[in-house]
Structures are given as structure tokens and as C-alpha cells.
């Protein structure tokens, strides 16, 4: 489903160049929940942003769902992003819009007619467990509910891949668990491939099938979670 081959990302900076991702190759299977863990500055965000064209690799290639995303632009990139959706640590919701309007937003952009939009939004609200909160504004929701809106919005256009950028890092442990359980349900029910980055071991242990450990832009370990994090 995802093929990352010899990818390198070098940022220009005042002090010279920063190699954020250094010769990373990872193959992720369809239906897999794949985690990337590492300390701050390890290159996790840069790597995940290259999976949906938010960053362009300096070298190497990224193929997602048979589409090369490492060098596409414009309308092609917008189309690819309907299939490669993303959720964020701080939710990135539209604050002046209701739950329903936030979830309908990507459907509007995709040109889905209003009647179909409403039906799809209702399905999504059910799926993420937000029934009764349709007309609330983000400021009236708990952190967990905000992330449920983020997830519903990300799933609106039936993506093949969901990218999660520290999606539970702003939540308390109990809420984190409920969001992780929702991600597992979605993975099972929809067969969605999930790639998540985190600095929390707990998140990896709880839901990931395989994990890559990043350090200084490189993958230093990769394998099934139970092998990589064996209890001594």
C-alpha cells in the first residue's frame, strides 16, 4: 500500500543544511497499523508529511496506493489527498463551523451534492460516536470529541490511508485509549491502512502491528511491535 524508497529530506537553514530524514526505506501493507516512534527531532513529522505531499523528498520516492506522491502537484495532489487523509495533534478544526459543517467540508471541496453530503455526514457522525453533538462548535467539545470530528472529517471521502500526526498527544490517558480503540475499529471495519507517528510507547504497544524506531533521521529498528519492544 505504501512504499518509501531511499527517501532523504534536507532542509536549508541558517546554520547550513539539516538532514531531517536520511535514506529511509519502509514498505507498509494494506490494512496494517504501522507506527513510527522517536524523540522530538527524529524526523517523524517530516517523514509522515512526505506521505501526502506536504513535503517533497530531496531524494527517493514515495508511492501510496499505486500513486507516486513524491513529485506530484496541483490537482493531482489534491486528488491523491482524498485517498491519503490526515489527523493532527491539535485537531485543525474550523472554529467558526459546527461539527456537521466541519465534517462536510472535505465533501464540499470534492464537489459532492448537498443531499449526498448530509447522508454521508450522518453516517460519519454515527461511526465516530458523536450523535447528538452535530450542531455543537469545536469550543463546546472535549478534546476527545474534537479528535472524533477530526477522524470523521478525515474519513469523509473514503480514503485508503489515514495518517495520524501525534493524534493523541494532547489528550489524557483515558481519552487517548478511547481514540485508539476507535482507530482499531475503523482499521478492522473499513480495512483502512493507518500510519501513525508518536513519541509515546503506550500508543505503539496498544494498536500497532509493526513499528519503525527513528533516530537522527534514520530508521534504527523496524519490525513487529512484540519483537522490537520485547520485555526483558
CB of 19 to ligand ADP, least distance (A): 8
CB of 201 to ligand ADP, least distance (A): 15
Q: How far apart are CA 156 and CA 120, in angstroms?
A: 7
CB of 98 to ligand ADP, least distance (A): 11
Site for ligand ADP (CB under 6 A): which residue of 35, 38, 144, 159?
Answer: 38
The yes or no reply on residue 40 touching ligand ADP (CB under 6 A) is: yes
Instruction: Tell me if 106 sits within 8 A of 121, measured CB to CB.
Output: no
Q: How far apart are CA 15 and CA 54, in angstroms?
A: 24
Binding mask 57-96 for ligand ADP (x = CB under 6 A): -----------------------------------xxxxx
Nearer to ligand ADP, 80 or 214 (CB): 214
Q: How far apart are CA 224 and CA 229, in angstroms?
A: 9
Cell 496498544 found at: 206
Kindly tell me the sign of the dihedral angle through the C-alpha atoms of 174, 175, 180, 184.
positive
* DSSP class of 9: E
DSSP bridge partners of 36: 197, 212
CB of 107 to ligand ADP, least distance (A): 15
Site for ligand ADP (CB under 6 A): which residue of 35, 43, 144, 159?
Answer: 43
CB-CB neighbours of 101 under 10 Å = 16
Q: Grid coordinates representing 73?
A: 502537484
3-state secondary structure of 33: strand
Site for ligand ADP (CB under 6 A): which residue of 5, 8, 67, 97?
Answer: 97
Site for ligand ADP (CB under 6 A): which residue of 26, 45, 70, 100?
Answer: 45
Nearer to ligand ADP, 94 or 201 (CB): 94
* Torsion angles phi and psi, residue 223, rounded to 5: 170, -175
Site for ligand ADP (CB under 6 A): which residue of 31, 41, 60, 129?
Answer: 41
Contact residues toward ligand ADP (CB under 6 A) are: 11, 13, 18, 20, 38, 40-46, 92-97
Amino acid at each position: 500500500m505504501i512504499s518509501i524508497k531511499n527517501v532523504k529530506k534536507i532542509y536549508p537553514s541558517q546554520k547550513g543544511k539539516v538532514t531531517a530524514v536520511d535514506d529511509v526505506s519502509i514498505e507498509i501493507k494494506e490494512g496494517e497499523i504501522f507506527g513510527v516512534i522517536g524523540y522530538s527531532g527524529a524526523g517523524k513529522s517530516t517523514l509522515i508529511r512526505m506521505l501526502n505531499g506536504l513535503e517533497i523528498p530531496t531524494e527517493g520516492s514515495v508511492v501510496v496506493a499505486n500513486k507516486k506522491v513524491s513529485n506530484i502537484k496541483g490537482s493531482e495532489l489534491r486528488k491523491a489527498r482524498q485517498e491519503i487523509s490526515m489527523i493532527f495533534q491539535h485537531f485543525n478544526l474550523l472554529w467558526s463551523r459546527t461539527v456537521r459543517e466541519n465534517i462536510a467540508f472535505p465533501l464540499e471541496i470534492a464537489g459532492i451534492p448537498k443531499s449526498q453530503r448530509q447522508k454521508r455526514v450522518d453516517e460519519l457522525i454515527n461511526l465516530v460516536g458523536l450523535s447528538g453533538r452535530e450542531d455543537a462548535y469545536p469550543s463546546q467539545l472535549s478534546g476527545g470529541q474534537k479528535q472524533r470530528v477530526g477522524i470523521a472529517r478525515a474519513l469523509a471521502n473514503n480514503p485508503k490511508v489515514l495518517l495520524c500526526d501525534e493524534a493523541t498527544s494532547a489528550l489524557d490517558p483515558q481519552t487517548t485509549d478511547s481514540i485508539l480503540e476507535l482507530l482499531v475499529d475503523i482499521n478492522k471495519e473499513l480495512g483502512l491502512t493507518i500510519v501513525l507517528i508518536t513519541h509515546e510507547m503506550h500508543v505503539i504497544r496498544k494498536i500497532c502491528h509493526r513499528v519503525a524506531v527513528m533516530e537522527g533521521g534514520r530508521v534504527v529498528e523496524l519490525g513487529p511491535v512484540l519483537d522490537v519492544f520485547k520485555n526483558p
